[in-house]
Amino acid sequence: MEASRHQPLHLHPTTSFSVLHPGPPPPTAASAPPPGASPSIASSYSPPSPLPAPTFPNVFLDINEPYTLSLIQSIFLARQESGCPYSISLGPCAGSSPITPPAPCTFQLSEYERVAWAEVLAGELFTSNYCVRKGMSRKAQLALFVRRHVAKHPGSCLGKAVPHTIVVETWAAFEEDAQVTLGDGVKLGVEGMGLGLVDRLKECAAEVAQTMDLDQREDTTYILKPSTTNKGAGICLIYCLEQLLDKLAELPDIREWVVQEYVPRPLLLRKRKFHIRAYVLAVSAIQVYFYDEVLVLCAGTAYDPDATSLFGHITNTAYQAVDPGFVEEECVMLLGDVARILLEEGRAGSAEEAGAITAKILEDMQAVTGELWSAFKNEQSVYSPLPGCWEHSGLDFLVDEDYNVVLLETNPGPDFKQTGSRLNSVVRNMFEETIDLTLGGVPFDKERNGSAFTKVFDCKVRGGGGAGEIRMRLIGDDAP
């Protein structure tokens, strides 16, 4: 008999997930191999057996994106086959409006927009998201609070790892009632001053103009990014103030931008630019874990600093997918592939030297990640972790010719399908470990469990659990 949606149930191994059957799981069964795993990339993670947690939460699974949904479903299915007493309710997995999980669900695993935030903030529900996170998700906010942190801590690694960023807000240029403050606090409407759109945009971009005037290098390139978009949307290269003003005027609906100096000497692999996507797990309030199996995302087009096409410059997979030169096997790789290519191209004299280079890159990314969360630990108005909840983020790093890492942006709630099909075992293994660490209550022990997570930050904020409390408080009296 087909179970109705939202009914607490156990997943049955012989059915598709559109037909779910209630009832107890089989008492014992061998864990199945990861469905859809790449034949060339073996699944390297196997959960502890038996899991030590005596109580498992009732999970409401409601993810719109099929790539991630299928991976998580297969994980819960395999665990129920092996006797783990998870109870899963499957939501509609469609739409963008909040949905309240049915009783007795205690954890909502879904996209941010679908979360029943009233119940979460009332302490009645936990979720795989943090409610307040604009400090990480908006490029302008990220730049502002990193700059503030570096001013207080001049020795912070963020000072070199985050490019100098100028925030450009264009609200005053497009609002009819915008005003300009004159001397002695006198305000005058821009219309009354006779300012046209270009002049108003110049006022908004005054700091960029000053920076360009002070920069006497003729070949300096800047990159312009909308503050709130992702997947490479709206990004362009600019070489002069006129180009900047044209772009701002072209997109009046976007009112917040960031301008950064383009990293001039990126490390290339087979003459192609790349960036590194690192997945990070923030747990409760708060421990932060860096997932060591990072992805190396390459352009499909050879890098030419003077090229007008962006395919050689923007390495975001969603953008690259429309490049005729994009081949997943060549453009989506692992850090070990970087070491191999460095050796092949003669940049490293031995396998040991190549391994040392990539190990240092990994260590630097971990250090930058820990310092980034440290920068936000007291900034709860823009980033507020919730006890009992957790959240994944995707951090994008660039590496220059001297092997310095540069943090480009952070993406809470990342698009996992950019990983592609060949390396989907990376995402699957990460979710396996995430479920152990959070919903399964397995204490973090990197050495004993062979975890690919590395803890990079641990700090008690807003009444969160102590340093040793890794298991989230899903059931009981400890509400957030």
In this predicted structure, the answer to whether residue 3 has a pLDDT above a threshold of 60 is no
Please give the average per-residue pLDDT across 329-335, as a whole number. Answer: 88
Report the interhelical angle of 206-214 vs 241-250 (nearest 10°). 160
Distance CA 451, CA 46 (A): 10
pLDDT of 240 reads: 87
pLDDT of 20 reads: 32
In a shared domain, residues 281 and 374: yes
Phi, psi of 11 (to 5 degrees): -75, 135
Distance CA 203, CA 166 (A): 14
In degrees, rounded to 5, the angle at the alpha carbon of residue 212 between the alpha carbons of residues 206 and 218 is 160
Strand-pairing partners, residue 200, are none
pLDDT of 319 reads: 63
Q: b/e for 210-243, b at 16 or more Cβ within 10 A? A: ebbeeeeeeeeebbbbbbbebebebbbbbeebee
In this predicted structure, the answer to whether residue 373 has a pLDDT above a threshold of 90 is yes
User: In this structure, what CATH number is given to the domain that contains residue 184?
Assistant: 3.30.1490
- Of 247, 243, 267, 272, nearest to 257 by C-alpha is 247
In a domain, 447, yes or no: yes
Using the Cα atoms of residue 35, residue 39, residue 40 and residue 42 in order, give the sign of their dihedral: positive
In a shared domain, residues 256 and 281: no
pLDDT of 452 reads: 94
In a domain, 387, yes or no: yes
DSSP type of residue 479: -
The 10 Å Cβ neighbour count of residue 79 is 25
Distance CA 338, CA 393 (A): 23
In a shared domain, residues 338 and 443: yes
Please give the average per-residue pLDDT across 145-169, as a whole number. Answer: 95
**pLDDT digit string, tens, across residues 279-309:** 999 999 999 999 999 999 988 888 888 777 7
pLDDT of 219 reads: 72
User: In this structure, what CATH number is given to the domain that contains residue 322?
Assistant: 3.30.470.20
Distance CA 104, CA 100 (A): 11
In a domain, 174, yes or no: yes
- Of 382, 378, 388, nearest to 122 by C-alpha is 388
**pLDDT digit string, tens, across residues 244-263:** 999 999 989 999 999 998 88
pLDDT of 275 reads: 94
Residue, of 389 and 39, whose pLDDT is higher: 389
Highest mean pLDDT among 38-52, 230-244, 327-341, 464-478: 327-341
In a shared domain, residues 198 and 273: no
In degrees, rounded to 5, the angle at the alpha carbon of residue 81 between the alpha carbons of residues 126 and 66 is 55
Helix, strand, coil abundance in the chain, percent, nearest 5: 30, 20, 50
Q: b/e for 156-188, b at 16 or more Cβ within 10 A? A: bbbbebbbebbbbebebbbeeebeeeeeeeeee
Q: Which of 231, 261, 291 is the last residue of a domain?
A: 261
In a shared domain, residues 363 and 281: yes
- E strand or H helix that includes residue 322: none
**Sequence-separated (6 or more) residues with CB below 8 Å from residue 269:** 296, 298, 338, 341, 345
pLDDT of 216 reads: 61
Given pLDDT bands bounded at 50, 70 and 90, which one contains residue 337?
very high
pLDDT of 412 reads: 93
**pLDDT digit string, tens, across residues 178-216:** 555 555 655 555 554 557 889 999 999 999 988 888 766
Cα distances from 191 to residues 175, 186, 252, in angstroms, run: 10, 15, 18
Distance CA 226, CA 158 (A): 21
Distance CA 87, CA 228 (A): 36
Report the interhelical angle of 66-81 vs 424-437 (nearest 10°). 60
Average pLDDT, the chain: 80
In a shared domain, residues 285 and 427: yes
Distance CA 456, CA 290 (A): 7
The 10 Å Cβ neighbour count of residue 291 is 21
Highest mean pLDDT among 24-38, 49-63, 383-397, 420-434: 383-397
The 10 Å Cβ neighbour count of residue 35 is 14
Residue, of 395 and 79, whose pLDDT is higher: 395
Distance CA 317, CA 95 (A): 24
**pLDDT digit string, tens, across residues 35-94:** 333 334 344 444 444 333 335 679 999 999 999 999 999 999 888 888 877 788 999 998
In a shared domain, residues 237 and 378: no
In a shared domain, residues 396 and 440: yes
In a shared domain, residues 299 and 428: yes
Please give the average per-residue pLDDT across 297-326, as a whole number. Answer: 76
**pLDDT digit string, tens, across residues 82-129:** 887 778 899 999 888 999 999 889 999 999 999 999 999 999 999 999
Residue, of 65 and 450, whose pLDDT is higher: 65
Q: Which of 261, 287, 316 is the last residue of a domain?
A: 261
Q: How many domains does the chain have?
A: 2
In a domain, 145, yes or no: no
What is the reported pTM? 0.81
pLDDT of 177 reads: 59
Residue 305 CB burial class (10 angstroms; 0-12, 13-18, ≥19): middle
In a domain, 76, yes or no: no
Distance CA 223, CA 263 (A): 9
Q: Please spell the DSSP secondary structure of 347-368, one letter per residue.
A: SSSSHHHHHHHHHHHHHHHHHH
Question: Domain range spanning residue 179?
Answer: 164-261
**pLDDT digit string, tens, across residues 14-35:** 222 232 323 333 333 333 433 3
pLDDT of 4 reads: 37
Residue 346 CB burial class (10 angstroms; 0-12, 13-18, ≥19): exposed
In a domain, 126, yes or no: no
CB 25 within 8 A of CB 14: no
SS3 457: strand
Estimate to the nearest angstrom the gap between the alpha carbon of 433 and the chain centroid: 17
pLDDT of 462 reads: 54
In this predicted structure, the answer to whether residue 365 has a pLDDT above a threshold of 90 is yes
pLDDT of 321 reads: 64
DSSP type of residue 431: H
In a domain, 361, yes or no: yes
